């Protein structure tokens, strides 16, 4: 009857928030106590609510009770099916009041709003670093505990995050479930598909606060910011050369170690850099993703296309970027 009277007799003694049902107050109190009374018998993971544990238990089985009526893809959770259905309907009912961008899921809109407010409500109790998303805080906490609860059953490698485990499993299965609706290229990871989709648009959501230059990817903005701070914090222990990016230092170290960790599965040839391996793979697939817009001749490498472009216009060293078709991601 309290749902009809709007009476809220149950009050939290910590933050004074009120609730109509005692059960709701009990669930709320877990936010203050950090208690997680529901434990998984398989992996010993703990949860605040019984329904979270129930959903989690499905990860230990192959059971996917929720089926899409359009493409027959199956899901463990009803919410996942609901979000999936948006890919068929193209519906985006959740709109940002600041920039008017629309989203298919309310959670995605909430995360997007934080890019405007710069709000980071989730704080690490150990180092006090703050995060916009609870999941990011959870992943960060593992850097303190060094815990790696996610195990790959194929190679037995362990990971701190479930997303990293999924990426590892995809390297074994070679499965690419995410497809681009524009060019139909397929990807093993949804985030790679999202990045790829930007190549079909002119949208550059990541903006530099200093010079206002915009970028399609956050990683590109991060690299750009180093131009402003000119900080080379990564030093080679062998020759003492310094780098702005840890990735550049790692690549540089290969010049000392002569290590070639990236191997071609076809001819077993090894390479020091993955991008060189990707270009090499085109020699096996005969794929030529770079096309000249003038004569439509195709090339395996972007450098070859650039040199070819010069034969059409020898008096110009630099051509407009529209002369070169963007290469589809080889990831």
State residue 4's pLDDT score: 53
Domains contained in the chain, number: 3
Q: Is pTM beyond 0.85 here?
A: no
State residue 313's pLDDT score: 65
State residue 101's pLDDT score: 85
Domain with 29 in it: 2-57
Percent with pLDDT over 70 in the chain? 92
In sequence order, what are the beta bridge partners of 67?
Answer: 74
Query: Which pair of structure tokens corresponds to residue 279?
Result: 């270009």
Same domain, 12 and 100: no
In a domain, 222, yes or no: no
The per-residue DSSP string of 205-257 comes to -EE-TTT--EESSHHHHHHHHHHHH----EE-TTT--EESSHHHHHHHHHHHH
List the CATH number of the domain containing 48: 3.30.160.60
State residue 5's pLDDT score: 56
In a domain, 237, yes or no: no
Same domain, 92 and 192: yes
Same domain, 38 and 121: no
In a domain, 213, yes or no: no
Same domain, 109 and 188: yes
State residue 330's pLDDT score: 40
State residue 45's pLDDT score: 84
State residue 315's pLDDT score: 46
CB environment 260-287: b (16+ within 10 A), e (fewer): eebeeeeeeeebbeeeebebbbbeeeee
Of 200, 231, 246, which residue is a domain's last?
A: 200
Q: Which residues of the chain carry a pLDDT beneath 50?
A: 1, 315-331
In a domain, 215, yes or no: no
The dihedral over CA atoms of 74, 78, 81, 83, expressed in degrees to the nearest 10, equals: -160
**β-strands 298-299, 206-207: how paired?**
unpaired
Is the Cα dihedral 224, 225, 230, 235 positive or negative? negative
Q: What distance in Å separates the CA atoms of residue 314 and residue 322, rounded to the nearest whole number?
A: 17
């Amino acid at each position: 009857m309290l749902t009809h009277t709007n009476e809220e007799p149950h009050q939290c003694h910590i933050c004074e928030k009120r609730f109509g049902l005692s059960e709701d107050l009990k669930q709320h109190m877990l936010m203050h106590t950090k208690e997680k009374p529901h434990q998984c018998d398989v992996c010993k993971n703990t949860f605040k609510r019984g329904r979270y544990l129930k959903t989690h238990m499905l990860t230990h089985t192959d059971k996917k009770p929720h089926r899409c009526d359009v493409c027959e893809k199956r899901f463990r959770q009803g919410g996942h099916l609901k979000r999936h259905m948006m890919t068929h309907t193209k519906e985006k009912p959740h709109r940002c009041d600041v920039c008017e961008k629309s989203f298919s899921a309310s959670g995605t809109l909430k995360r997007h709003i934080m890019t405007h407010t710069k709000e980071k409500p989730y704080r690490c109790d150990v180092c006090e670093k703050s995060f916009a998303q609870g999941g990011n805080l959870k992943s960060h906490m593992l850097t303190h505990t060094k815990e790696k609860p996610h195990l790959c059953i194929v190679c037995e490698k362990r990971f701190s995050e479930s997303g990293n485990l999924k990426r590892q499993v995809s390297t074994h299965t070679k499965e690419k479930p995410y497809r681009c609706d524009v060019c139909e290229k397929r990807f093993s990871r949804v985030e790679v598909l999202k990045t790829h989709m930007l190549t079909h648009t002119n949208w550059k959501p990541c903006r530099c606060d200093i010079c206002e230059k915009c970028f399609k990817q956050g990683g590109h903005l991060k690299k750009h910011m180093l131009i402003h701070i000119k900080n080379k914090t990564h030093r080679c222990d062998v020759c003492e050369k310094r780098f702005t990016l840890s990735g550049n230092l790692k690549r540089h170290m290969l010049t000392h170690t002569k290590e070639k960790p990236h191997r071609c599965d076809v001819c077993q040839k090894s390479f020091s850099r993955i991008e060189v391996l990707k270009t090499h793979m085109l020699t096996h697939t005969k794929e030529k993703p770079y096309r000249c817009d003038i004569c439509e001749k195709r090339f395996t490498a972007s450098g070859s296309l650039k040199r070819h472009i010069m034969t059409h216009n020898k008096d110009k060293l630099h051509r407009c970027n529209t002369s070169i078709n963007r290469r589809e991601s080889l990831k």
